[in-house]
A = this chain, B = another copy of it.
Amino acid sequence: MSSINIKDIAKLAGVGVSTVSRVINNHPDVKKETRVKIQDIIEKNNYIPNNSARNLKMLASNNIGIIVKGSFNPFFSKIVERIERSISNENYLLTLHYNSSCEKDDSEILIEQIKEKRLNGVIYLGGNFDNKSNNYLKLLNIPLVIASANISDDVDKSGFSSVGIDNIDSAFKAVDYLCKMGHKNIGLLSSGFSDSNNRNLRTFGYEKALLKNGISINIDYYRDGYYTFESGYEMAKDLLNKNSEITAIFSTSDIIAVGAAKYILSTNRQIPNDVSIIGFDGLEYGEFFHPSISTVAQPIEEIADNAVELLFRQINDMESLNEHIKLKTNLIIRDSIASVN
């Protein structure tokens, strides 16, 4: 790529590089004639400014970054889409970075991005934040909002804002509903260690609901797997084969719920008549399964909107206080739950 640069354009146009730079950046102080001529030459030569050089020189950039942990989760995709829209309304540019699990530490990526792109602020989606990450975080002194992430209780939350849901309460509502429908033997399928904080919190909500309804906890009803259809299928198979008395399943994600439902229907059991099932997240998978799967819907738009609002509050006033918001989830009952006796 021995390509054309700003100096070449300046020479071709017979002007100084500053003038070319002004045209590129839409500064007003350029004679119309000159501007048009330069734009023409830029176009003809397919000149594209080198962003590394720009970033190096510019102090801020009107760039805000989104870093998404756990690459291909449709739940995050929806949040990102929504954020994208509101950010560009504010005349900010978005830098998206997906980091697959195999890459370096979350926080290190964050810092690299901040330096490289001169980010004005960052929204971090997903991932796990413990005290170690937090040591990095403190050094950041840049507006930061962490959304839908697992933040350990021991983390000092003074350096960033956050938005999430109340996992315990959400799981509680779902399982309490199952109990109210008369279910006593309720299986728990969860997405396991990669998501351990969510898992633990939702499991706690499940247990709370059972206890409140006078049902004792049975460890044999717990299964840990992955965030895939396949895993849901396999967990349901193992769970139901070993515990045929189970009449309902609570799953910590819709994807797992769909996999489980598929297994149930494959064995000629009926949903909800033989087994009731409820998922978590509120993704379309569940709605378009047949029968439609009930779920605890996360307020995706609200999560996105709050994240953006908290971020801009900090960008516009560095002294503004951090805030940590827990949003309400929405229990959506569809066709996958029946009452028992």
CB pair B72–A81 under 8 Å, yes or no, is: yes
Q: Considering the chains assembled together, what is the distance between the CA atoms of A242 and B236 in angstroms?
A: 40
CB pair B52–A111 under 8 Å, yes or no, is: no
Closest to A56 in B: B52
Query: Could you tell me the distance in whole angstroms from the C-beta of A15 to the nearest C-beta in chain B?
Result: 22
Query: Could you tell me the distance in whole angstroms from the C-beta of A115 to the nearest C-beta in chain B?
Result: 5
Chain B residues within 8 Å of A72, by CB:
74, 77, 80-81
Chain B residues within 8 Å of A193, by CB:
none
The answer to whether A258 has its CB under 8 Å from any CB of chain B is yes
CB pair A74–B74 under 8 Å, yes or no, is: yes
CB pair B96–A139 under 8 Å, yes or no, is: no
Chain B residues within 8 Å of A262, by CB:
288-290
Closest to A108 in B: B48
Chain B residues within 8 Å of A116, by CB:
50-52
CB pair B102–A88 under 8 Å, yes or no, is: yes
Chain B residues within 8 Å of A46, by CB:
111, 136, 139
CB pair A3–B81 under 8 Å, yes or no, is: no
Instruction: Report A52-105 residues with CB < 8 Å from chain B CB.
Output: 52-53, 55-56, 71-72, 74, 77, 80-81, 84, 88, 96-98, 100, 102
CB pair A290–B289 under 8 Å, yes or no, is: yes
Selected contact of A233 from candidates B53, B111, B112, B288, CB within 8 Å: B288
Q: Considering the chains assembled together, what is the distance between the CA atoms of A303 and B90 in angstroms?
A: 39
Selected contact of A71 from candidates B81, B100, B102, B229, CB within 8 Å: B81
Query: Could you tell me the distance in whole angstroms from the C-beta of A89 to the nearest C-beta in chain B?
Result: 12
The answer to whether A141 has its CB under 8 Å from any CB of chain B is yes
CB pair A48–B115 under 8 Å, yes or no, is: yes
Chain B residues within 8 Å of A259, by CB:
288
Query: Could you tell me the distance in whole angstroms from the C-beta of A46 to the nearest C-beta in chain B?
Result: 6
Closest to A119 in B: B1
**A and B contact pairs by CB, cutoff 8 A, 30 listed:** A1-B141, A1-B142, A3-B115, A46-B111, A48-B108, A48-B112, A48-B115, A50-B56, A50-B116, A51-B112, A51-B115, A51-B116, A52-B53, A52-B55, A52-B116, A71-B77, A71-B81, A72-B74, A72-B77, A72-B80, A72-B81, A81-B100, A96-B98, A228-B284, A229-B287, A259-B288, A262-B288, A262-B290, A266-B290, A289-B289
15 additional contacts, CB 8 Å, given A48-B112, A290-B290? A1-B142, A51-B112, A52-B56, A52-B115, A52-B116, A52-B117, A72-B80, A74-B74, A96-B98, A98-B98, A229-B288, A230-B284, A258-B288, A266-B290, A289-B289
Q: Top 8 closest A-B pairs, CB basis? A: A72-B77, A52-B55, A51-B116, A265-B290, A229-B288, A52-B56, A52-B52, A262-B288
Q: Which residues of chain A have a CB within 8 Å of any CB of chain B?
A: 1, 3, 46, 48, 50-53, 55-56, 71-72, 74, 77, 80-81, 84, 88, 96-98, 100, 102, 108, 111-112, 114-118, 136, 139-142, 228-230, 233, 258-259, 261-262, 265-266, 284-285, 287-290
